[in-house]
Structure 1
């Protein structure tokens, strides 16, 4: 049970229409992801949405007039970070079934997806590809207090080659359907980077290989040259943006790493040389090894075409085996689910699979906190319960280091010092 104690000074301020500025959170335990240890009897002080100090001990003196949130029996963790989501996607509508809806249906239904991710404990997400700049709109609406959701790092439209994954490949020529960020050649793709940044992208997403859920592409196919990928990376880095490359195939993965791209998404068919290059370049791997369970169980019923399900079956186990190999080799890894391929609220299910394929529970949690913050370049803001960072905290019953499945049902979510979900 969560107990909230509000001091008399705070009640007086609230009566006058003001809000409490100081919040103190206590619990039985806290996972310190920076030190890789558990702290007993944590006392976390949050002022104006940011953590000012982390202390220990039940007898710690609390600031005068602070709002107190006591979570007896629970374990605190930093708000989780999912590095690969699609908030305007919905797995219930696969293949051609999505065409039954008007265009604006997709950003509207995504409002619920954003809420579901937040309530699942993900206080920050990187949205790597959307339509109509919906992820930029969600970010703006959340920051204005008009909708509920996590902190969003938007990519806007994903860059692609003509006819490749992330282009529009389902419709016949008479529709003249073209992806909004398609480019051929280094100069065109540099322009696409500038366009996405102009309209709000904070990370650039590029599709370097074919994919599972596109038509007329194969996951192993490289679809942009190393020269084109380097132009994208150089242009993005010039503007201070990081780049995420969708890349299933071994050749495309290695070309993206050599080109200077920051994170490799999926990395399903990565080989030993690719793992070596990732370590050498400090490239992060974002491998979504959970969602295939949903796709294979529900995909056909949701309208996903057999050819797409075939591709998913062919690479699913290979990706999980390569996740294990990359982890054993010491590659840098982050938590990434591709939520939108499976329901957003189930993203915490990936922790179980990560531990089944080699990670300890602490390593899996660090992938979704400390590591993700490093990959985002946001170590001063998110990814740990530490002074200076946002007051983004989740709480679960029991010990998630003994049973990582505790993270599938988060009991309390605090964002910026404000309780947004509690049991």
Structure 2
């Protein structure tokens, strides 16, 4: 029998503290990759106070502690999606979204936040939204008005005038433009400061064209390396992590050399780019599931033919490059681009990652330990460990044997509170 005592709480919780005790059949230790028997997790005021497995000495627990017994389930840390758009909805593509007033998007975003949490994703990084909507959703979750995960907002994504993160669907008479565009290193430094001022906790920049914009080619670089470096330096000066939307090989390598922390999409990365990412410690976030949804459902949702054609051209090559990066041992994070496909289906990407070369434990680590490191929040999320948030997802079986179990969680706990 395995006997592991991770930590035992030796003193009683404070008199006014709320204590929750979670038990289950097994726990996946994502750091070691081992399944441990009979875990007992003590959560006090939303954070983990003790973790004990079979034959470990039991901690002292207040008599009035709440119990959550998950029976034969396997527990693991709450999952992390590093690339979501909570206020986006794939049901409305192309120009069909113009039928709604501006506030519609944040209102339906509240529903998307709840779906994401119930799917087992207790933390997300929202990499771009209009009108600082992701900041508002984060505040509403924290105040208890809506149900949702911990949200790391980036507010507006930065980019070049006319580039992927600008407004590219309307004619000049509408004078529609993103307020976060910059066309020099100094302009982009100012945009970083503005996003931080209004609540961004990370910074995203668009280094190349994209699939779902008009008049941009995904593989073409749109910001110079010195501009990307200005974004990275300014964000890091303010202690903020950075992400780059980058499909093309040149833009990927420029973003890595500039010091951007995570590279998103990474569709056309080459061998040089993979080696550079490993050398510089950049994390790669391939969104390898959403192609299936866009190609099957995009046209009926109003996605323009040119955007579907770009997705078809990008998707196959992106998955083969994912395979090459996985084989090379590049650092991977779990980035799905939820909002391009329905929120709540986030876990469907695990199976695709395994199909194209990751082991189940490494796919799970991409959404736990790796993601926590990339966020710079290992003390809060990514593992069932003392001091972290009491965020737990439970599945009915062994996720190392069948990673699709993560698509069907039997329980989700956030901060010690079971999500209904």
How do 1:161-180 and structure 2 match up within 5 A?
161-180=160-179
How do 1:101-140 and structure 2 match up within 5 A?
101-140=100-139
Task: State the 1:67 CA deviation.
Answer: 1.1
How do 1:142-157 and structure 2 match up within 5 A?
142-157=141-156
Distance in 1 between the 2:182 and 2:367 partners?
Answer: 32
Check whether the contact 2:245–2:264 (CA below 8 A) recurs between aligned residues. yes
Q: Is 1:302 matched up with 2:301?
A: yes
Distance in 2 between the 1:297 and 1:410 partners?
Answer: 26
Distance in 2 between the 1:78 and 1:143 partners?
Answer: 20
2:47 to 29, 50, 55: 50
Secondary structure at the residue paired with 2:183? Answer: coil
Distance in 2 between the 1:61 and 1:186 partners?
Answer: 55
Q: Which residue number corresponds to residue 31 of structure 1?
A: 28
How do 1:249-398 and structure 2 match up within 5 A?
249-398=248-397
Check whether the contact 1:90–1:341 (CA below 8 A) recurs between aligned residues. yes
2:61 to 55, 60, 63: 63
Q: Which residue number corresponds to residue 202 of structure 1?
A: 201
Secondary structure at the residue paired with 1:95? Answer: coil
Q: What is the CA deviation profile of residues 99-132 of structure 1, one whole-angstrom value per residue up to 9, with x for unaligned ones?
A: 0111111111100000000000000000000010
Task: State the 1:57 CA deviation.
Answer: 2.7
Q: What is the CA deviation profile of residues 25-67 of structure 1, one whole-angstrom value per residue up to 9, with x for unaligned ones?
A: 0100111011221111111111111111111138946613221
Check whether the contact 1:24–1:62 (CA below 8 A) recurs between aligned residues. no
Secondary structure at the residue paired with 1:245? Answer: strand
Distance in 1 between the 2:409 and 2:110 partners?
Answer: 20
Structure 2 unmatched runs, 5+:
1-14
Aligned residues: 404
Q: Which residue number corresponds to residue 218 of structure 1?
A: 217
TM-score by length of 1: 0.94
Classify 1:19/1:114 alpha carbon distance in 2 versus 1 (closer, same or farther; 3 Å).
farther
Distance in 2 between the 1:413 and 1:20 partners?
Answer: 22
Structure 1 unmatched runs, 5+:
1-17
Q: What is the CA deviation profile of residues 55-84 of structure 1, one whole-angstrom value per residue up to 9, with x for unaligned ones?
A: 113894661322111111100010000000
Q: What is the CA deviation profile of residues 214-244 of structure 1, one whole-angstrom value per residue up to 9, with x for unaligned ones?
A: 0000100100000100011111010000110
Check whether the contact 1:81–1:369 (CA below 8 A) recurs between aligned residues. yes
Distance in 2 between the 1:236 and 1:44 partners?
Answer: 36
Distance in 2 between the 1:379 and 1:132 partners?
Answer: 29
Distance in 1 between the 2:328 and 2:361 partners?
Answer: 18
Secondary structure at the residue paired with 1:192? Answer: helix
Q: Which residue number corresponds to residue 412 of structure 2?
A: 413
Q: What is the CA deviation profile of residues 178-215 of structure 1, one whole-angstrom value per residue up to 9, with x for unaligned ones?
A: 11201101111111000000000000010000000000
Classify 1:329/1:266 alpha carbon distance in 2 versus 1 (closer, same or farther; 3 Å).
same
Classify 1:194/1:410 alpha carbon distance in 2 versus 1 (closer, same or farther; 3 Å).
same
Distance in 1 between the 2:143 and 2:397 partners?
Answer: 35
Distance in 2 between the 1:93 and 1:99 partners?
Answer: 9
Classify 1:173/1:367 alpha carbon distance in 2 versus 1 (closer, same or farther; 3 Å).
same
Distance in 2 between the 1:268 and 1:391 partners?
Answer: 35
Q: Which residue number corresponds to residue 5 of structure 1?
A: none
